[in-house]
Structure 1
């Protein structure tokens, strides 16, 4: 092999030197660029007309990402918060939904880590916490879009995904977008996951995080994070809980607000109509049929409603694409629905409030709220899915007569003006008969309708604002008919007393949601509660004043009442019509008197004699009984009457079953013997190969994903073959001359019958 000459060696040396000099110059330039950016950001004073992203003191990599994603001009919240957050200060931001809060915290995440030369070996540098999985996925996609020119590693940690796969990649992430529950799970369980070097924490939709019950989770997360960090907290509504969270997590924050005087954008047209409960589905169907070229987002109160409307409307074929999104779906299904509705031009998405926060569905024409939102903040977030940025949109709210006054007053406190419209009767199409036909033909639709009925009434019952949500004013019978149900399932809710904590046990009544004659019970409850409030509170009053203490008591009392009615000879057939929807019948079975009563003994003595200890010592023992489908008691080893037994038929059936068992066992034995023979043959061949000195060895099977279980090398008979083997007789064998005739099935049956008759 020829050695390189002196000239080629000198040439390679010069190239390496040039390469090293280039690296040194590049590192010096990058260091100078970072120092310049730091100095510029700290001294930057934004002008009054700041609008372009290019005017901000940012790196060229971030500007390229923004330009590639067609982000040129800033919104109000971005122009006010970015100059502050780029200086490394804590920000408490408040802006209406759809104002561009995502870029307001993602740009500082990229810039802060870039200026501090964050690398893979530095670990987790920025953490973004989102309330819902869909919003976390959306934030992560925006981060990938604008941060494509940076070299940071980013990860998404949400519930519903494989925990083990997340653990393997978690330690290599520089930026993490996560939901609170899964993040806390990793912090507690994943080995090697540390956030001690965290530089920046972002809390998006902080009010929603707290409303979903993550206050304790957030407190636990903050205890794992270093205090020397920058924190950005953004929310559409500023509540007391958000202010408390800001005091805990932010250090000398700068408050930034944009559009706070207007809860909804001016480009949004807002309408409402007064619609009775039993006419809501008719109105929704008519609305969809008249807006087939629109993109519509429809909100309901609970998951059961979303699923019922989706299943029934799909069977009725309105003429456009229908989708549904709710919290009971699996994670991959939710993401698929989210992406499908995002890319579709004309469609209807039925959703719960899981889609009301932060999600950016492009070009939504209408937001229809079939069920009244729980408060004005929820209304703001729902209608915020349309008229985002500079686009326009329309919102339509269904209000029942009992909800109109209270909801309009709540919206007025947020300076929201909403116009009332009246729906023409000739434009509305009734679908009650169609829903009844679907419920009659498909039992699953009927069952889902019953669950929808229960879930909606429960959601109204659990609402806090009783000035808006009045359960006693709902026409439940007509609502059940509008769902296609043959009758209204009866549901009972526990009614709390009116005097708060000073309510005695006697004042707690079980109130039927359909009964209109409850005034006497309410007056009695008020009088008893006043009497209980006048006397000193005892430990029993405190015990009965606890929450949830009557959850099972009404159910147990109902069972006892039914049992007493059945033992007293009441007509059970008349009582069936008044039974609760989800209730059980109690039947008291007659037992021998000598097992219950003993002359001359007290009740305590009788109970002691019935205990396990007394029975073990030879006390009176009962008889073990079994109950049939009609509820009748029988002795466990009860013999049938001779008249009810057909000896000849039972003997034939017995012989058929035994023959089938023997034939199946014969098939299994032959298969096992065949496998043993194959194994023996394989060992013999291996032994012969070793004796010949062949060192090639046995053939090695290719690796597979099998779990190690080796199935038998024979085919099981199909179901039809199994049935044929079980009941058919084996084929007759042809006998030769001089041989004895072979026994047939008829001969064996005749022999068995003779034995049984003896």
Structure 2
């Protein structure tokens, strides 16, 4: 009993103290109070009606965790887009928001994300609850940083999924995330490939900068992403500009959305009033010199410079860095690695005086604090791109300035497009005394450093290609660019050859020569017409009528039209070599003699006709040049169709024929039916078929035997290869004949180190049996315990030697 007592006591549940009971009771009370607080918060959000003077975040029906996070990040008052969208998005409605860049759209969708998951009591086991999709990596990083700052008091797990990182590391953490900030391409890759990544419980979806997502070619990706997401979700779509593609995306992804700021979001309101916008006119070859002079005169400012291509960004950065302007230089473009892009983004964010050369990858959504100047060296492709570029400065309530470089061929068109959208950009002039020409320095660098020369060539080609691919040809005219001077301004010894540019120049030169020929042709006919006018006024003279009558009908009509409309200055077609040939005056010099030789009546059979040509008038195909315009064939194609080269290349190919004894024509490789050769059902035909069947069966059996032999040979080669590999491995590991090799070092005997060969003799039980073949391994046996041979073994070896001598 005494022994059993302690065992019963140890197995019984220990009694809880009063302190533990009070702790459990208090935790239950805390959970109940939290549940009531969450329920009250949700009711307050649903019933909240914003007052007219709503400004502070503290007046919103949000949780204490979010309110403390906003206060910690120094966000106290709301912007216009936040005041209008937050009361609606907190109620769980879909929102289609549009506002000018820099107006605080990030907080407008991050606060509902945190509040929605807080009210649903979202935990780690619930999986992914909120998804934020961003067009660029830098913008995704910026959104993630803001999320961490205002959501530091919440217990949600958040992740960042962008390209450039290790996919395996992302997969391991992805299944534990409650909030995910991602770029479209990498997110779709995880949805398709990562096992365990599910979005079935998604509560809220955010599409930031939706117009930029679509402009970058992610329309199909977004459609595929939406197919993975549940229909019962809240969707928030924000964009700085509203386009038709954004509207179609909203119809696909939003359910009864509330439009915020779209009616008043015209382009004129898209730029803040504190932004000063200017443009300067300069030639293409003076752009870099003007940019250098601008940077040298603004060393104490923070400047963002936009160029049209990645190669231009790198060339300008590398050359200006070697010229030492006196201010830190950075560059950012889409060809850089992810780590480099993030480092550049963070460095420029923390600097007060710096210059960042960038492509349009930095034009959307990125919040660079305290940017003083935005300089656009290359003109933007459209007004929306211009708005987003200049939106990097004058953010929130701060002031900023923007400067646009325009060439003389771009000034009129770009200014008209901007004014049509309500943007007023003032023209300024540069002082020639403060402009420094750096063309000589660039030439010296290209001569001394082949890398600079190579970068200059790539920058030259990429810029011209970007202008060539622009949609608005009224502004971007690649044919009017001074390409040779542009190459010299980059320091290049000569202009690189470009295929598309060569085609443009050839087309331009051809059009110029055609214009000259047309002018000459029209002038000559005007002179002829003026002579005729002296006699008959506006009518044609008899001589002119006869000249025209000698040519073809089409030519006649065309020349008549030209002469009648010479006062209007209508263009005439270019005279070709065929026109000149038919205008020769001696065409009929042999016509009379030839007419006598040719017998058009088929011959009379008289003796005088023995030298007469018996000619048949063959019917020729219609002249392509005489086809009506309704056949949609251009004159150039008609002329090409008549050329020998075209006939040889595209004409019908003839077939080579052979003639039999009867004169019948056959193709040289004409196939005959078996019935024609062997007859139908005859004995010869049956014999041939039987012989063919026998041959096929024999060949089939031979192939089977060859296949078996080939397989056996392959297996034997595989075994031999495996055996050699094992022997090689055993030698490398120091094994010999199944056991470790033992090296025995013994002192030299009287025989000066001579060791008798080691052989194995057959045992007594094997004397009657025929002697077995001795292998090398059996002849080299040694005592593994001592490493030496015994006396009996030496005697056996001696007997074996004697027998072998017999």
Q: TM-score, normalised by structure 2?
A: 0.63
Q: Which residue of 1 aligns with 2:511?
A: 518
Provide closer, same or farther for how the CA distance between residues 393 and 526 of structure 1 changes in structure 2, counting only shifts above 3 A.
farther
User: Is the 2:479–2:505 contact (alpha carbons within 8 Å) kept by the matching residues of 1?
Assistant: no
**In structure 1, C-alpha distance between the alignment counterparts of 2:626 and 2:730, rounded to whole Å:** 86
Map Cα deviations across residues 99-127 of structure 1 (whole Å, 9 max, x no partner).
Answer: 00000000000000100011111111010
Structure 2 counterpart SS, 1:368: strand
Q: Which residue of 2 aligns with 1:168?
A: 172
1:115-514 equivalence runs, <5 A: 115-257=119-261, 260-261=265-266, 262-493=269-500, 510-512=503-505
Provide closer, same or farther for how the CA distance between residues 682 and 51 of structure 1 changes in structure 2, counting only shifts above 3 A.
farther
Map Cα deviations across residues 618-665 of structure 1 (whole Å, 9 max, x no partner).
Answer: xxxxxxxxxxxxxxxxxxxxxxxxxxxxxxxxxxxxxxxxxxxxxxxx
How far the C-alpha of 1:10 sits from its partner, in A, is 9.2
1:46 correspondence with 2:55: no
Provide closer, same or farther for how the CA distance between residues 353 and 22 of structure 1 changes in structure 2, counting only shifts above 3 A.
same
User: Is the 1:492–1:513 contact (alpha carbons within 8 Å) kept by the matching residues of 2?
Assistant: no
User: Is the 1:263–1:416 contact (alpha carbons within 8 Å) kept by the matching residues of 2?
Assistant: no
**In structure 2, C-alpha distance between the alignment counterparts of 1:427 and 1:35, rounded to whole Å:** 67
User: Is the 1:263–1:414 contact (alpha carbons within 8 Å) kept by the matching residues of 2?
Assistant: no
Q: Which residue of 1 aligns with 2:73?
A: 69
Q: Which runs of 4+ in 1 moved over 4 A?
A: 9-12, 513-517, 520-528, 530-534, 602-605, 675-688
Q: Which residue of 1 aligns with 2:32?
A: 28
Greater Rg by CA: 2
Structure 1 counterpart SS, 2:139: helix
Provide closer, same or farther for how the CA distance between residues 351 and 683 of structure 1 changes in structure 2, counting only shifts above 3 A.
farther
**In structure 1, C-alpha distance between the alignment counterparts of 2:628 and 2:128, rounded to whole Å:** 57
**In structure 2, C-alpha distance between the alignment counterparts of 1:444 and 1:375, rounded to whole Å:** 33
Map Cα deviations across residues 293-346 of structure 1 (whole Å, 9 max, x no partner).
Answer: 110000000001000000111111111110000011111111111111111111
**In structure 1, C-alpha distance between the alignment counterparts of 2:103 and 2:168, rounded to whole Å:** 37
Q: Which residue of 1 aligns with 2:778?
A: none
Provide closer, same or farther for how the CA distance between residues 533 and 200 of structure 1 changes in structure 2, counting only shifts above 3 A.
farther
Provide closer, same or farther for how the CA distance between residues 430 and 122 of structure 1 changes in structure 2, counting only shifts above 3 A.
same
User: Is the 1:476–1:514 contact (alpha carbons within 8 Å) kept by the matching residues of 2?
Assistant: no
**In structure 1, C-alpha distance between the alignment counterparts of 2:118 and 2:656, rounded to whole Å:** 81
How far the C-alpha of 1:473 sits from its partner, in A, is 1.1
**In structure 1, C-alpha distance between the alignment counterparts of 2:491 and 2:157, rounded to whole Å:** 53
Unaligned runs of 5+ in 1: 496-509, 545-559, 561-601, 606-674, 689-758
User: Is the 2:734–2:741 contact (alpha carbons within 8 Å) kept by the matching residues of 1?
Assistant: no
Provide closer, same or farther for how the CA distance between residues 305 and 19 of structure 1 changes in structure 2, counting only shifts above 3 A.
same
Alignment RMSD: 3.4
User: Is the 1:472–1:513 contact (alpha carbons within 8 Å) kept by the matching residues of 2?
Assistant: no
Q: How many residues align?
A: 546
Structure 2 counterpart SS, 1:338: helix
Unaligned runs of 5+ in 2: 1-5, 519-570, 575-624, 638-644, 646-653, 658-728, 743-806
**Partner residue of 2:93 out of 74, 89, 109:** 89
Provide closer, same or farther for how the CA distance between residues 677 and 89 of structure 1 changes in structure 2, counting only shifts above 3 A.
closer
**In structure 1, C-alpha distance between the alignment counterparts of 2:180 and 2:216, rounded to whole Å:** 21
Structure 1 counterpart SS, 2:401: strand
1:687-726 equivalence runs, <5 A: none
1:13-24 equivalence runs, <5 A: 13-24=17-28
Provide closer, same or farther for how the CA distance between residues 210 and 526 of structure 1 changes in structure 2, counting only shifts above 3 A.
farther
**In structure 2, C-alpha distance between the alignment counterparts of 1:172 and 1:526, rounded to whole Å:** 76
User: Is the 2:479–2:504 contact (alpha carbons within 8 Å) kept by the matching residues of 1?
Assistant: no
**In structure 2, C-alpha distance between the alignment counterparts of 1:287 and 1:237, rounded to whole Å:** 31
How far the C-alpha of 1:536 sits from its partner, in A, is 4.9
User: Is the 2:307–2:313 contact (alpha carbons within 8 Å) kept by the matching residues of 1?
Assistant: yes
Map Cα deviations across residues 411-455 of structure 1 (whole Å, 9 max, x no partner).
Answer: 112211111100010110000000000000011111111111111
